[in-house]
């Protein structure tokens, strides 16, 4: 029976409405249904009209946990009792296909009573939204998050494991450069490139230790061993870059792809991994630079030291934030390798700038003077200084008199200064007072 008024066919409007609506009598027989509801439930109007709701829409018999019928029945009984609308939680209520099988579906139902003048329920409007796609997407997201957590754990273990292995290799490599062969590196069962480096390092360490003992009384043979050790240091340092890049790469993947899945502790650990990997990269670069010096041939030219120092100032201003006042007088011209002396001056001045950074008025002074057959260059600062009883450690590889928390650094810069000046036949030394500044000297043969 069609209801109309003022020329409007309300039944046609209801059936064409875009929402999923079903109208029930109090005895739960179906009396009206929208086209959208029919399409969503794969039913036909003439097959369901006048029939009971749960006759048309039973539970899925293959799902032993199905509770759609009982939940909906409870909601409708609440409507009849309280004569008020009732919104249900999302329900799993599978729909029977035309071939008799069931399709998994999820719904968000709202049941609303229609009352007559006597406040009696004459109809129940059952409106639903099909949220199946949303629920499936949510389940997929939960599964992806679970898989992501597994992947994060695996990659975190990989990073942690390889970071520790690289640190062990680096520590032993450092000891070998100082001719301390007392430590050996444990080799895992993985058989990867880090294990190959460890085996090679252990073997070469044993060979070098034996060789050094045999030639310690022979300067020529000792020089050969030093060359071998430098080449070996360069080779291993270079080979360490690949696994270090892998550690950095995995850390970057975790930061970019899984940051939202990590808690604050996980993010803190990951930042530590990235910081240590970057620090390790810097150490390796410094070690490579130090090793190259042993093989580099000197190309001496006349050097205007005032022009060289001016170039160093420009480089420092561009790369090192500072507020230091840098003073320089007229400096002597020398015959030396320009690139290496530039590195020496840069290392000494940048060190001075760094260690004066906590002074209210940081000051760095550069000067030179002639003494007999040599020119002595002086870099003086009013910074942190040092205790003279530790002066013998200043120019050793990776030797530092200040903690990394006080002043960052690798402990290679002054070792490079010492090696460069030694290759030129000069001397390097330093004087300092703790808390009152330091003065570094290097001498070069006078230009004739």
pLDDT for 104? 92
pLDDT of residue 435: 81
pLDDT tens-digit readout, 146-175:
776 777 677 666 666 666 666 776 666 666
The CA distance from 228 to 83, in Å, is 94
pLDDT value for 120: 92
CA angle 96, 97, 98 (to 5 degrees): 120
Lowest-pLDDT range of 53-57, 64-68, 174-178, 405-409: 405-409
Q: Distance of CA 218 to CAs 18, 419, 422, Å?
A: 98, 21, 20
User: So what's the pLDDT on residue 237?
Assistant: 55
**Tell me, what's the pLDDT at 17?**
73
Q: For residue 277, is pLDDT > 70?
A: no
In three-state secondary structure terms, 148 is helix
Name the DSSP letter for residue 330.
Answer: P
- Residue 401 has a pLDDT of 47
Cα–Cα nearest to 416, from 433, 394, 432: 394
Bridge partners, 432 (sequence order) = 438
pLDDT at 221: 55
Min mean pLDDT across 13-27, 180-194, 369-383 is at 180-194
Indicate whether 250 pLDDT > 80.
no
pTM of the model: 0.40
CA angle 369, 375, 377 (to 5 degrees): 65
pLDDT averaged over every residue in the chain:
78
Residue 332 DSSP SS3: coil
pLDDT at 296: 58
What is the mean predicted confidence (pLDDT) over 17-36? Answer: 90
pLDDT of residue 347: 84
Q: Grade residue 420 by pLDDT with cuts at 50, 70 and 90.
A: confident
* Predicted local confidence at residue 223, as pLDDT: 59
What pLDDT is attached to residue 11?
75
Containing 282, the helix (H) or strand (E) segment is helix 264-295
pLDDT confidence of residue 409:
46
239, two tokens = 């080979």
């Amino acid at each position: 029976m069609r209801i109309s008024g003022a020329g409007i066919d309300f039944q046609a409007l209801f059936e064409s409405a875009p929402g999923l609506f079903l109208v029930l009598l109090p005895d739960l027989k179906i009396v009206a249904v929208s086209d959208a509801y029919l399409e969503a439930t794969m039913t036909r109007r003439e097959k369901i009209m006048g029939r009971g709701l749960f006759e048309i829409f039973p539970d899925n018999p293959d799902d032993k946990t199905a509770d759609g019928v009982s939940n909906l029945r409870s909601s409708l009984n609440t409507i009849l009792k309280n004569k008020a609308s009732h919104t249900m939680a999302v329900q799993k209520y599978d729909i029977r296909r035309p071939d008799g099988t069931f399709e998994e579906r999820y719904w968000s139902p709202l049941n609303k009573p229609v009352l007559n003048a006597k406040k009696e329920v004459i109809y129940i409007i059952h409106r639903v939204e099909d949220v199946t796609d949303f629920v499936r997407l949510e389940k997929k997201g939960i599964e992806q998050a679970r898989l992501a957590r597994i992947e994060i754990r695996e990659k975190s273990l990989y990073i942690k494991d390889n970071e520790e292995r690289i640190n062990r290799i680096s520590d032993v490599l450092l000891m070998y450069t100082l001719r301390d062969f007392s430590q050996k590196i444990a080799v895992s069962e993985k058989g990867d490139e880090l294990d190959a480096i460890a085996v090679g390092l252990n073997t070469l360490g044993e060979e070098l230790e034996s060789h050094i003992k045999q030639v310690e009384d022979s300067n020529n043979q000792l020089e050969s061993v030093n060359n071998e050790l430098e080449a070996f240091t360069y080779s291993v340092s270079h080979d360490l870059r690949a696994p270090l890049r892998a550690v950095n790469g995995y850390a970057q993947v975790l930061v970019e792809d899984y940051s939202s899945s990590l808690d604050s502790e996980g993010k803190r650990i990951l930042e530590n991994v990235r910081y240590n990997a970057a620090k390790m990269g810097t150490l390796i670069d410094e070690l490579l630079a130090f090793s190259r010096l042993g093989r580099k041939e000197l190309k001496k030219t006349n050097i205007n030291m005032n022009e060289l120092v001016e170039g160093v100032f420009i480089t420092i201003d561009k790369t090192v934030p500072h507020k230091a006042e840098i003073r320089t007088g007229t400096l002597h011209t020398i015959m030396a390798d320009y690139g290496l002396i530039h590195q020496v001056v840069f290392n000494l001045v940048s060190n001075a700038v760094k260690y004066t950074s906590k002074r209210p008025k940081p000051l760095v002074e550069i000067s030179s003077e002639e003494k007999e057959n040599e020119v002595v260059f002086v870099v003086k600062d009013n910074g942190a200084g040092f205790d003279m009883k530790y002066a013998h450690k200043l120019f050793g590889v990776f030797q530092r008199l200040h903690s990394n928390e006080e002043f960052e650094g690798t402990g290679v810069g002054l070792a490079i200064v010492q090696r460069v000046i030694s290759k030129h036949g000069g001397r390097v030394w330093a004087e300092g007072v703790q808390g009152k500044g330091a003065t570094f000297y290097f001498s070069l043969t006078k230009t004739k």
